[in-house]
Structure 1
Amino acid sequence: MLIRILDSHSKISAPCEIAFPKYFRRDWKRKTVNEKYKQICDYYSANFYLCKGNPQHLFQKIRRKEKKKSVVIKEPRQSLFLDKIYQDFADFKLIHLVRDARSVAMSPWFINNPKRGLEIWYRYNKSVLEVADNLKPSHKLIVRYEDLVEDTSTAIKKVVEFLGYAFEPKMLNYGKFKHADDEMLPR
């Protein structure tokens, strides 16, 4: 929901979940990450190998095709590699969307193993907060998922202003906008 809303802003592109292969080298999801990254690169007419080594190249292609100024990336598992990402992108801004651990544990993903959901929630959040501790206050924002759902307009306004842009009320009608992930899905 957050990504769709941000992608509906006139200056912000949040095209889809993008995991960077560079950080998944030893991860069990490496093959899946590479396949999806290739699909994204193809969609943006970007050289996979160039983008694999330098995600900034992909960002440039995304901004050009989407005609927007900023790119927002979301991929939950990337939280585990945030320390490495921070080394490569020291000026990035971190938006940490955190959901109540109980909701995660009882979500459809973990309904049969809530303990596993809590373990993953803890690991991801711990990793993010460790990196956030090293960021300037102007480069980190924590948003509670429950606040986003309860008062979407206020939460989104806070996020957009944190990114340095004016809030655009029409972005809340995100279902009326075209989104890259819908277009790049295999038909």
Structure 2
Amino acid sequence: MPSSDPRLRAAARRARGALHALNLPGGRPARIPPTPAGQRLVPEPVFVISSVRSGSTLLRVLLNSHPRIRAPHEMHLRTLQVDQTKPYTKNAMTQLGLDQHELEHLLWDRVLHRELQHSGKDLIVDKTPGNALVWERLHEAWPDAKYLFLLRHPASMVSSLINGRPDRDPAQTVAEIKSYVDAVEDARNRLPGLTVRYEDLTDDAAATTRDICGFLGVEWDRRMLQYGKQDHGPFKAYIGDWSENIKSGSVQRARALPAAGDVPDELRATARSWGYAC
């Protein structure tokens, strides 16, 4: 029996209108409303935006050595997807205002929250290099996220990849690095954040980590410089660096910067814009 309360009848009409908006006639796609504020379990995660072979594992273990910061191995959130196996599943989620992106955002957020809860810390950092390729998606999922942009000489990243896999094709390796550095530069130009240079991190880890802590709003802790005394999980391929340098437990000085003649033409513009002579 319909309610006689005009306020309840008005609320019911608004609810029916909202559902109708999610199920438009003519086969047009439904408009998914924006995620309400406060819907993230981890509202302000920190993402490292970097290329592969940029020193992100070193940055991770230094940060993870801080008593308030959890920086786990690479999380690869962008490859963690939700499978809606039936047409009616998608329809049901649409009625709830949840599209594919937002369902995956909820899953990603829950994974970060679970890791943070298990660590007992209150700030989480994800350093997956693939973040650079989906920075727009991360910003959509977490409008209040913080970003660390980690730079390294592009030619050094090429040589590091080839040193680890001598069978790699040089041209394909240069193209891979270029795709990453272009994405990093795009993100730097469009997102707020702190830029960190790998060569500075290895030359003066104390000063660089102080700057990072100031940006993140936590007090600097000397234990960050002694990452070898703490457990950071295994150093394995596909979830981070596994070289002897990172396993040494101490910050190793970066290699000498490549000579100008050794910088691939495709990477010269980025190297110069990042402040490297070439």
Q: Which TM bucket (shorter chain)?
A: 0.7 to 0.9
Match among 203, 211, 214 for residue 158 of structure 1: 211
**Deviations 1:20-49 (Å, cap 9, x if unpaired)?**
145779xxxxxxxxxxxxxxxxxxxxxxxx
Whether the aligned pair in 1 keeps the contact of 2:78 and 2:134 (CA below 8 Å) is: no
Higher mean alpha-carbon deviation, 86-95 vs 3-12, is at: 86-95
Structure richer in helix, relative to its length: 1
The structure 1 residue matched to 2:146, chosen from 93, 114, 124, is 93
One-letter amino acid of the structure 2 residue matched with residue 128 of structure 1? V
The aligned runs of 1:14-93 (5 Å cut-off) are 14-21=71-78, 53-93=106-146
Pick closer, same or farther for the CA change 1:72–1:177 going to 2, 3 Å.
same
Alignment partners' CA distance in 2, 1:54 and 1:100: 35
Could you say what secondary structure the match of 2:195 adopts?
Answer: strand
Identity percentage over the alignment? 26
- Paired with 2:191 and 2:124, the residues of 1 have a C-alpha distance of 19
Counterpart in the other structure of 2:176: 120
Cα distance, 1:64 vs structure 2: 1.2
Q: Secondary structure at the match of 1:17?
A: coil
Equivalenced residues, count: 157
- Give the counterpart letter for 1:15 in structure 2: P
Partner of 1:28: none
In 2, are the aligned partners of 1:97 and 1:145 still within 8 Å (CA)? yes
Listed as ranges, the gaps of 5+ residues in structure 1 are 26-49
SS in 2 for 1:62: helix
Note the alpha carbon deviations across 1:94-144, whole angstroms, 9 max, x for none: 1111110111121124654343333222221221222332223xxx11111
CA contact (8 A) 2:65 2:227 kept: yes
Q: Quote how far apart the aligned CAs of 1:89 are.
A: 1.1
Q: Which residue of 2 aligns with 1:132?
A: 188
Judge conservation of contact 1:161–1:167 (CA < 8 Å) in 2.
Answer: yes
CA RMSD of aligned residues (A): 2.7
CA contact (8 A) 2:105 2:141 kept: no
| Farther-moved stretch of structure 1 (116-125 vs 161-170) | 116-125
- Shift of residue 172, structure 1, vs aligned partner: 0.7
Structure 1 length-normalised TM: 0.74
Aligned counterpart, 1:172: 225
TM superposition shift of 1:84: 1.3
Q: TM-score scaled by structure 2?
A: 0.51
Aligned AA for 1:127? A
For residue 190 of structure 2, give the secondary structure of its aligned residue in structure 1.
coil
